């Protein structure tokens, strides 16, 4: 109780399976006494593009635009665009970040990737020599909860789905100092029976009940590539 959770959600349709997973997380965590915020990226029409518009006022170097440098400078002088500042505030407050999305091309949807690109600014999420275990978002947990089109069996044949999580969990979250909980994967909700879908939703509720007792994964190459 009292824990703060931010769910960053990337699905267009509230009636989707992802929408149901979101609803369950909000209900269950609220019931536990957590304070839950949702960034519903499509509903917010969240801007995924990393452009000059993210910096208010004069650029640090107007001769040649460098997004990383300009957002870092803008962060320091409080000149990042309002939508970014709002997301950073939610991240800063949160004890746990949950990312809820359908897998797109072995990756997260562009709108969510855009959230990562734009919100996790240098100076805010990491800095020189403040990365990985020393990242600036230390003390927080994250959990990638996603759905697939492919079945569990197909993923087992083609290779471990953990490979796909290396850029997301290690390259982004661990880089920023966030500890990673086991991912939650619902395989092929479109192609299973309604009964199986209900089972998957119940399993998510059950997992959330004991989530705060979980240990983070050892986020190093061995976890991903054995
Ligand atoms: P939905 O279609 O919304 O849901 C499935 C079913 O669940 C629906 O019938 C819905 O009515 C039902 N449902 C919703 N809520 C409930 C409830 N409470 N109880 C019972 N039933 C319910 N897949 C891969 O595996 N790898 C890829 O690389 C990949 N790339 C993709 C790229 C793109 C651009 C796109 C569009 C898709 C890709 N996919 C890929 C497929 C994608 O991951 C799946 O379509 C998606 O994960 C399914 O989730 P959903 O929430 O959209 O399902
Ligand atoms: Zn790692």
Q: Distance (Å, rounded) from C-alpha 142 to C-alpha 91?
A: 11
Beta carbon of 197 within 6 Å of any ligand 1 atom:
yes
Band (pLDDT 50/70/90 cuts) for residue 1 is: confident
- Cβ-based burial of 222 (10 A; exposed 0-12, middle 13-18, buried ≥19): exposed
Tokens representing 83?
């939508």
* Superfamily of domain covering 4-225: Flavodoxin domain (3.40.50.360)
* All structural domains of the chain with their residue ranges: 4-225
Band (pLDDT 50/70/90 cuts) for residue 151 is: very high
206 C-alpha to ligand 1 centroid (Å): 21
Q: Distance (Å, rounded) from C-alpha 153 to C-alpha 196?
A: 15
Q: Is the torsion defined by CA of 146, 151, 155, 160 positive or negative?
A: positive
181 C-alpha to ligand 1 centroid (Å): 23
Tokens representing 209?
């009940």
* Ligand with the closest atom to the CA of 171: 2
59 C-alpha to ligand 2 centroid (Å): 34
CA distances 199 to 113, 155, 183, 205, 218, Å, are: 29, 20, 17, 10, 28
Which residue puts its alpha carbon closest to atom 53 of ligand 1?
Answer: 17
Convert the pLDDT of each residue in 71-93 to its tens digit: 999 999 999 999 999 999 999 99
Band (pLDDT 50/70/90 cuts) for residue 226 is: confident
Q: pLDDT at residue 202 above 70? A: yes
Band (pLDDT 50/70/90 cuts) for residue 157 is: confident
Beta carbon of 150 within 6 Å of any ligand 1 atom:
yes
Q: Looking at the CA of residue 13, tell me the nearest atom of ligand 1.
A: 3
190 C-alpha to ligand 1 centroid (Å): 5
Which residue puts its alpha carbon closest to atom 8 of ligand 1?
Answer: 190
Which residue puts its alpha carbon closest to atom 5 of ligand 1?
Answer: 190
- Cβ-based burial of 18 (10 A; exposed 0-12, middle 13-18, buried ≥19): buried
Output the average pLDDT for the chain.
97
Convert the pLDDT of each residue in 93-109 to its tens digit: 999 999 999 999 999 99
Band (pLDDT 50/70/90 cuts) for residue 140 is: very high
């Amino acid at each position: 109780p009292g824990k703060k959770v931010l769910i960053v959600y990337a699905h267009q349709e509230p009636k989707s399976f992802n929408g149901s997973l979101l609803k369950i997380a909000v209900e269950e965590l609220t019931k536990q006494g957590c304070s839950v915020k949702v960034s519903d990226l499509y509903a917010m029409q969240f801007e995924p593009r990393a452009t000059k518009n993210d910096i208010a006022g004069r650029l640090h170097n107007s001769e040649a635009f460098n997004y990383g440098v300009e957002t870092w400078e803008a962060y320091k002088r409080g000149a990042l665009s309002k939508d970014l500042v709002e997301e950073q505030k939610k991240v800063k407050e949160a004890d746990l970040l949950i990312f809820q999305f359908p897998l797109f091309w072995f990756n997260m949807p562009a709108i969510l990737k855009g959230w990562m690109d734009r919100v996790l600014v240098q100076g805010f999420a990491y800095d020189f020599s403040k990365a990985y275990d020393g990242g600036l978002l230390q003390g927080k947990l994250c959990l990638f909860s996603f759905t697939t089109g492919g079945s569990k069996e197909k993923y087992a044949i083609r290779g471990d789905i953990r490979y796909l999580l290396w850029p997301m969990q290690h390259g982004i979250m661990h880089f920023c100092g966030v500890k990673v909980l086991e991912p939650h994967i619902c395989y092929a909700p479109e192609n299973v029976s309604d009964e199986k879908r209900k089972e998957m939703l119940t399993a998510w509720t059950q997992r959330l009940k004991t989530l705060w007792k979980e240990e983070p994964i050892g986020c190093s190459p061995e976890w991903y590539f054995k």
